[in-house]
Amino acid sequence: MKINPYLIFNGDCKAAFTFYAQALPGHIDMMMTFGESPAREHFPADLHNLIIHTRLSVGDQAIMGSDTTPDRPTDEMAGCSVSLNVDSIAEAERVFTALAEDGKVQMPLETTFWAARFGMLVDRFGVSWMVNCEKDQ
């Protein structure tokens, strides 16, 4: 069993996942708009450019997401963080810096009592991230 985060956006899913594919880095396995889906006729044409489903693979893990429709907007993403556990301080610093671009650092990446590096941030899309490197391998 694997647990995969599924992020819901208010129209910027494509931009977010394109950014994550570069920052993490990862590979977008699929990205389908409402207009490309078999359910196309159930959505107004002005929603056809929104993402109905996407999947980004990072190693053997995945993160998925979609846009919501304007009649069902999401509130800010709060109360949950995507936790990234990396194997080296250099990778922790790289990923943290990339995700923090145009975002807000909540806790700088630093040594803690449990980790060689740990930091928290909210990216430019409002998604909370925790970057954790327990030991530098």
pLDDT tens-digit readout, 89-127:
999 999 999 999 999 999 999 999 999 999 999 999 999
- Where are the alpha helices (H) located in the chain, listed in sequence order? 13-23, 89-100
137 pLDDT tier (thresholds 50, 70, 90): low
Whether the predicted pLDDT of 3 surpasses 90: no
pTM, rounded to two decimals:
0.89
* pLDDT at position 1 over 80: no
